């Protein structure tokens, strides 16, 4: 069983795989914190697990946290992709 201290350590160490595993922890508070941590880090690897969690987790609060984290992650991915798109020089 993962503790909230473990989640903090994984978040600080950017342990994406560990945080994704914690999404399946029996403790809903651990799952909630893992989801929010993944949303904060916004690694694309977490997109599918967060999407699944926001739809399937048995806890309403954990689903809501996963939905929030998913929005953060998708928003960050969109920001990064927007900076990579070639820009058209202004005409005129």
DSSP output for 22-53: HTT-S-HHHHHHHHHHHHHHT-GGGHHHHHHH
pTM of the model: 0.87
Q: Nearest-CA neighbor of 29 among 65, 70, 67?
A: 65
Confidence of residue 87 (pLDDT cuts 50, 70, 90): low
Say how many residues make up the chain: 92
Of the pLDDT bands very low, low, confident and very high (cuts 50, 70, 90), residue 90 is low
Q: What are the pLDDT digits (tens) for 1-57?
A: 899 999 999 999 999 999 999 999 999 999 999 999 999 999 999 999 999 999 999
């Amino acid at each position: 069983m993962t503790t909230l201290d473990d989640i903090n350590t994984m978040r600080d160490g950017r342990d994406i795989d560990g945080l994704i595993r914690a999404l399946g922890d029996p403790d809903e508070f651990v799952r909630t914190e893992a989801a929010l941590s993944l949303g904060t880090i916004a690694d694309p690897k977490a997109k599918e697990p967060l999407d699944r969690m926001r739809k399937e987790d048995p806890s309403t609060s954990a689903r809501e946290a996963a939905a929030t984290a998913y929005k953060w992650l998708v928003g960050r991915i969109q920001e990064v992709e927007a900076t990579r798109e070639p820009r058209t020089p202004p005409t005129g």
